[in-house]
Amino acid sequence: MKKLFFTIVLLFFTISVFGNDYHIRRTDNFTSDEEMFHNRWTNSIRGDSLNCTVVGRVLFGVSYNVFVKDTIAYSCHGYSLIILNVSDPSNSILIGFYDTGGYARGVYVQDTIAYVAADDDGLRLINVSNPTNPTEIGFYDTGDYARGVYVQDTIAYVAADDDGLRLINVSNPTNPTEIGFYDTGGSAKGVYVKDTIAYVAYSGDGLRLINVSNPTSPTEIGFYDTGSSARGVYVKDTIAYVADGSDGLRLINVSDPASPTEIGFYNTGGSARGVYVKDTIAYVADCGDGLYIIHYYGNTGIKENKNKNSSNVYNISVKMQDGLSINYNISETKSVSINIYNIAGQELYCNNSIKSPGQYSVRWNGNTGVYFVKIDIDKYRYTKKVIIIK
């Protein structure tokens, strides 16, 4: 009955907030007395910042996390997963919801399945192929409270509070099974996976970097004390955006996983719980203080250039085996250029030569860190970002 009452109230509130009364409070270019009041009030709660500025705010009720896919937003509100059409952000429309049983804390959407971290109800797998009528197709009891979730390929990484990081095989969504776990030592609240590293935000102990290249035996390779209570994390390029409770949004350079460093922050007005990043904009769910829209204007570092060629005609491969192993083969004489750069763009290795037909392998022994490999064979270019972990 309590959940039903909460859901009814929530639906009424959500419809009114995300319908025509949806507001974005900007911090500049105000044109009315009301706007001026809003901006003065917004500025009055602005805390310290570094390389970050607020470009807008969206006011709504308690929300712990959000995931955006195409024109649909999936938001964790209380005991429900709320589904919104955001094709017109100024007039978002409620199109569906699902009672998750437990308090919805985190959500990740892959293909037509929403994976919801539902507190004491564990991991819920919701079919959202019809967003107006979502249905549950599977679940997994994570042991402790499920707080955050990230899905990569067929593995769901669940931040399960005092039960740490749980790795769940979801290849069969009707029967998820655990294949590995890592005891983070504290209360795991959020998780994001990039390449072979799981970035775990957990209360009191900041950001933990876990090597999950072998999902049956994860190992910690680095950490950063964010200062407050890390709740959510999103990683873009070489920056980890951490929702850090009362310390707001913290931006951590993780190009060297063994030695992360802070490069920016913004102190939100309440308690930052979740974060989603698009381009240089971070959407920060602040419990009790709405959604902050924050622009990071610092250096975003080197980005991987995507190869425009659809086929790998020279069978190029780059493998990490206590260093880098670069392999390729050519069927006729070609000019070959191999360059390796660190995250700052400094060239660490360069080899230019004319190669006869044959198979070739180049070894480079670098330290732990993130690198970019660029291979040019005549007019064909292959680029790849790699992480060396020792």
pLDDT tens, 328-375? 999 999 999 999 987 666 788 999 999 999 999 999 988 877 788 889
Picking from 51, 54, 55, the residue whose alpha carbon sits closest to that of residue 262 is 51
Structure tokens at 198: 């799981």
Kindly tell me if the per-residue pLDDT of 7 is higher than 90. Answer: no
- Residue 223: CA count within 13 A, CB half-sphere: 16
pLDDT at 58: 60
Q: Which long-range contacts (CB under 8 A, 24 or more apart) does 353-362 make?
A: 355/330, 357/330, 357/331, 357/332, 357/333, 358/329, 358/330, 359/327, 359/328, 359/329, 360/327, 360/328, 360/329, 360/330, 360/336, 361/325, 361/326, 361/327, 362/325, 362/326, 362/327, 362/338
Distance CA 40, CA 243 (A): 25
Q: Which helix (H) or strand (E) holds 38?
A: helix 33-44
Q: Return the sign of the alpha-carbon dihedral for residues 252, 255, 257, 261.
A: negative
Residue 248 burial by CB count (10 A; 0-12/13-18/19+): exposed, middle or buried? Answer: buried
Which residue reads 């957990």 in tokens? 202
H or E element in which residue 44 lies: helix 33-44
pLDDT at 130 over 90: yes
Q: CA-CA distance, 60 to 56, in Å (whole number)?
A: 13
- CA dihedral over 134, 277, 239, 386, signed as positive or negative: positive
C-alpha separations of 311 from 41, 102, 308, 316, 382 in Å: 55, 46, 9, 10, 10
Check if the beta carbon of residue 171 is closer than 8 Å to that of residue 226. Answer: no
Print burial letters for 334-352: b (CB count within 10 Å at least 16), e (below 16). bebebbbbbbeeeeeeeee
Q: What is the pLDDT of residue 69?
A: 85
**65 in Cβ contact with 76 (< 8 Å):** yes
- Helix, strand and coil content of the chain, in percent to the nearest 5, comes to 10, 55, 40
The residue among 121 and 20 whose pLDDT is bigger is 121
Which pLDDT does position 18 carry in this prediction? 35
- Strands 65-69 and 72-77 turn out to be antiparallel
pLDDT band at 26 (very low <50, low <70, confident <90, very high): very low
pLDDT at residue 295, as a whole number: 84
Per-residue DSSP letter, 36: H
CA atoms within 13 A on the CB side of 242: 37
pLDDT for 85 beyond 60: yes
Q: What is the pLDDT of residue 360?
A: 94
231-256 pLDDT per residue, tens: 999 998 889 999 999 889 999 999 88
How distant, in Å, are the alpha carbons of 4, 9, 165 from that of 16? Answer: 19, 11, 37
pLDDT at residue 64, rounded to an integer: 82
| pTM over cut 0.95 | no
Per-residue pLDDT band for 301 (boundaries 50, 70, 90) equals: low
pLDDT at 377: 92
What is the percent of the chain where pLDDT is above 70? 78
User: What whole-number distance in Å separates Cα of residue 64 and Cα of residue 232?
Assistant: 9
What confidence category does residue 390 fall into, taking pLDDT thresholds of 50, 70 and 90? Answer: low
Q: Is the pLDDT of residue 23 over 50?
A: no
pLDDT at 40: 27
Question: Residue 55 in contact with residue 295, Cβ under 8 Å?
Answer: yes
Of residues 24 and 126, more confidently modeled: 126
Task: Give 90's pLDDT tier (boundaries 50, 70, 90).
Answer: low
The residues near 37 (Cβ < 8 Å, ≥ 6 apart) are none
The pLDDT of residue 186 is 73
pLDDT tier at 16, thresholds 50, 70, 90: very low
pLDDT at 320: 76
User: Helices (H) and strands (E) in the chain — how many of each?
Assistant: 2, 33
> CA 263 to CA 372: how far, in whole Å?
21
What confidence category does residue 14 fall into, taking pLDDT thresholds of 50, 70 and 90?
A: very low
Please report the pLDDT score of residue 166 as a whole number: 92
Per-residue pLDDT for 300 more than 80?
A: no
**Mean pLDDT over residues 380-388, rounded?**
83
Tell me whether residue 90 is exposed, middle or buried, using C-beta atoms within 10 angstroms of its C-beta: 0 to 12, 13 to 18, 19 or more: exposed
Q: Above 60 in pLDDT, residue 179?
A: yes
Q: What is the pLDDT of residues 27-68, one digit of tens each?
A: 333 333 333 223 222 333 344 678 888 876 666 556 788 888
Question: Hey, what are 290's tokens?
Answer: 């709405």
- Residue 292 has a pLDDT of 80
Which tops the pLDDT comparison, 153 or 303?
Answer: 153
